[in-house]
Amino acid sequence: MAIMLKRMTLIIPNLIGVIIVTFLLTRALPGDPAAYFAGPAATKESVEQIRKSLGLDKPLIVQFGSYVSELAHGNLGTSLTTGQPVLTEIKNRLPASAELTLFGLILSIVIAVPLGILAAVKQGSWIDHTCRIVATAGVSLPVFFTGLLLVYVFYYILGWSPAPLGRLDVFASAPTQITGFYLIDSLVTGNWSAFRSSLNQLLLPGLTLCIFSLAPIARMTRASMLTVLSSEFIRTARASGLDSRTVIITYAFRNAMLPVVTTLGMVFSFLLGANVLVEKVFAWPGIGSYAVEALISSDFAPVQGFVLTMAILYVALNLLIDLLYGVIDPRVRLEA
């Protein structure tokens, strides 16, 4: 509990820094929201009137004070493009982004962790070489290129995948909202048509994020396992006649998990950023595509809300990783 309280006290300065930097960067971006929404045929007087109504004519410090005051009351502002509160838009779109990110991460863990373990156990074999090829390909391919390539092959050429146009195809209806995750909600409510449709729509973007995150997870698992397998206690366990599976899974992998968990945390944060490009490629209605559309139209409030949400998720993820350290290895709690 003391460790959690200590970590949470460090969150506040980080969030304050994010708020200040995000506010200043949005104001430094090229483009004038008032001119954009007034239209190309608007007069200078009408542009100035819109700027005044938005509060953009006030000094920067006054604008920042108003922004912080609204944040203190739980108000992230209103989107000028949609006319809806930013907090409402983020609440509606965050489950879509979270479902896509978690699906891609879980898929990569299922593939990368066993591949890294086998590559370490069978060092120099074809499995080890396959792990290196997969890691190199994952690092080399940009995430948007991978997404476009998968769409071209599986949708355009083979016709196996549905059109990349959102979370459901045009013939399926959304399940009753419980968690906002279509796969979970459709399973809970027994809506099998929605489950099949959402799974089909999720496969290609999830596979895109999976390929992007495979490399660091597989490489770290392999490197960490090689280090542990060369330790004295592993040689002692093998000399004691323990089963090879027990030595590898119970002893070696458990002691190799800390670096892997750290890598998973970093990969998850990378996926949150990569989500922006993947959502645009697959027309996914998440907060990433919402932020991009707002950025194009110089709509400050959604961009600030998006960055603040990502910062909170990132800080919460680091806190969760710190807690997992203590669960995996009790010595971490004692040292802390």
Domains and CATH numbers, the chain: 16-72 (no CATH), 92-335 (1.10.3720.10)
Tell me what percent of the residues of the chain surpass a pLDDT of 90. 3
Average pLDDT, the chain: 81
Contacts of 302 (CB under 8 A, 6+ apart): 77, 79, 81, 86, 89, 290, 291, 294
The pLDDT value recorded for residue 203 is: 92
What's residue 334's pLDDT? 46
Condensed to tens digits (0 to 9), the pLDDT of residues 113-123 reads 888 888 888 88
| Residue type (1 letter), 43 | T
pLDDT in tens, the chain (336 residues): 555 666 667 777 877 888 888 888 777 776 667 776 766 666 777 777 777 777 777 888 888 888 888 888 888 888 877 878 888 888 888 899 889 988 988 998 999 888 888 888 888 788 888 888 877 777 777 888 888 888 889 988 988 888 888 888 877 888 888 888 888 889 888 888 889 989 999 999 999 988 888 888 888 888 888 888 888 888 887 887 777 888 888 778 888 888 888 888 888 878 877 788 888 888 888 888 888 888 877 778 888 888 888 888 887 887 777 777 667 666 655 444
